[in-house]
Amino acid sequence: MLAGRRVILGVAGGIAAYKAAEIAGTLVKQGVEVRVIMTRAAQEFITPLTLQTITSHEVASDMFTPRSGGVAHIEAARWGEAFLIAPATANIIGKMAAGIGDDLLSTIVLAFDRPVLVCPAMNVTMYKNPVVQRNIQALSALGYYFIEPGSGRLACGEEGPGRLAPTAEIVARLESILGGSGDLGGLKMLITAGPTREPLDSVRYISNRSSGKMGYAVAKAAAERGADVVLVSGPVALSPPDGVNVVFVETAQEMHLAVNRHFEWCDVVVKAAAVADYRVQAQPGKIKKGATPLTLTLEPNPDILRDLGERKGRRVIIGFAAETEQLETRAVEKARNKGADLIVANDVTRPGAGFDVDTNIAVFAYPDGRTVPLPLMTKSALAHRILDQVLDLREDGADNG
């Protein structure tokens, strides 16, 4: 529940600013104390009096209004438990990414060290502009939360992504970020992430380009939503998410053992790790360079996803597939062959969907043959989509059980 929470609502100057009244009203009805910060441009679309009436708090917009004491942006930053920016224009997103604080809203963002949820709304061409996407990716990497805009006919007459997300979705996401929803509370989740390394000798190894960002995003989001999370991680350059028990491994066999140790404990498995398919018999010391070609004999590693699928019981099992062709067909086949409830597949040749990036373009593939393509989004946003599927799949399992 959000009742009793303190939320700053930042309103930037786009046509969707009028929807801030609905957002504020919905939050107030749920018992949230809301204080509104508006840019001057936002006041061209909706009056401060409207939002003041809804929230019962004076709306702030000017850094230099005479005050009885204190510093406006510091006081606001200390007061709020979360900062919701809706709508967020390309301008405010650019300021945030550049660290610019030239008005009250952007200055509070700089002084705010608690969760910030950004809800973009703008013209489709502006939203797809590489600079805007780069700014969104940069902010996501710093821990800012984003809700992808909806698609449809925009105020400018164009079609495509750019509409402010529905109020219900914004409020639900805010609730999950603040830990109020707890919609995964009581669930025990086992998540794998990152690559594995298969040693050739004491110096070299075989690995892949997985960064672990997707698995870490799922673990972070699951913990935020109340799940008890064990993350089995290959070697990555990422900080462990707060509230997550991390088990570090190197090889595929080590990952298999770690997963097996926690499998009986868990209710849900999300296998996002890119496990090496083959290993070699590692040689002691360093293999010396010679004049003749080096021949390596590869042995298959254990198929962790298939092994878990064969023993799944009533657990929900979600796997991943990185493909370069026939994406949907191969993902459905993998779901069927591995005993998975869902495969999250992506074509790693597409811009924004490859390795070591902060975004993804995924397809949900199910063993019954259904596929659901998703648009480009941050891995954080995709993580929440995956967790929503966890809830749906568990509900379906309960209905069929």
Q: Which residues are catalytic?
A: 156
Q: 8 and 82 in contact (C-beta within 8 Å)?
A: yes
Q: 182 and 223 in contact (C-beta within 8 Å)?
A: no
Nearest to 320 by CA among 271, 354, 359, 278: 271
Q: 196 and 280 in contact (C-beta within 8 Å)?
A: no
> Measured between alpha carbons, how far is 84 from 102 in angstroms, rounded to an integer?
19
Helices (H), 184-303: 213-224, 252-263
Can you tell me whether residue 319 is helix, strand or coil? strand
> Measured between alpha carbons, how far is 145 from 188 in angstroms, rounded to an integer?
24
Cis peptide bond N-terminal to 130, omega within 30? no
Q: What is the DSSP string of 1-58?
A: --TT-EEEEEE-SSGGGGGHHHHHHHHHHTT-EEEEEE-TTGGGTS-HHHHHHHHTS-
